[in-house]
Copies of this chain bind each other. A is one copy, B any other.
Amino acid sequence: MGQTRGDIMNTTRGPAVRLAELPAFDCWHLIESVEISRVAWNGPQGVSVVPVNHVVSDGALWFRTTPYSALALECRGQWVAAEVDSVDPATHTGWSVVVRGVAELVDAEDVPEQLADFRVWPAGTRNVFVRVEPVEVTGRKLVAPHVG
């Protein structure tokens, strides 16, 4: 049968899921369960967003990068939003957490000892650490309707 114009109001297909808020405590556990943040900030050319490896240490979210990256050159002292998620395209379930705060650049020699263990995926020297002290942490999950 042909699709009618009225079908456009049917917004879902496949597993029906609903959005629910996540408590902040759960958010930190989830952030630590994966290795990638998508970090957004407002730079000279408008808003930018890049994926980076992260680690949680000392109550903050940390990245490490080269001194020549857009992240290092533009985010110092800026408000940033880091989004962390894990989703399953098959079931349409998953979660997303956003950490917001001001980014601070820290030289490799000045980071806390436990950060010495922080490795990133791409090869190359990444001797600038970015520390985001969280001001706001929010999370949502996509859940199947009958499992809470």
Contacts and interface: CB of A to CB of B under 8 A. Distances in A.
Residue among A49, A111, A122, A123 facing the most chain B CB atoms (10 A cut-off) = A49
State the oligomeric state as a number of copies: 2
B125 A14 contact: no
A82 B142 CA distance: 20
Interface in A13-60: 13-19, 34-36, 38, 40-42, 46-51
Contacts of A115: 8
Contacts of A35: 89
Interface residues of A, number: 58
A41 B5 CA distance: 31
Given A17-B123, A51-B87, A116-B5, A100 B12 contact: no
26 contacts: A5-B116, A9-B108, A9-B127, A11-B126, A12-B121, A12-B123, A17-B121, A18-B123, A18-B124, A19-B122, A19-B124, A35-B89, A36-B85, A36-B87, A38-B83, A40-B47, A41-B47, A42-B42, A46-B81, A46-B100, A47-B80, A49-B82, A50-B96, A51-B83, A51-B87, A123-B145
Interface of A: 3, 5, 7-19, 34-36, 38, 40-42, 46-51, 64, 79-83, 85, 87, 89, 92, 96, 98, 100, 108-109, 111, 115-117, 119-127, 142, 145
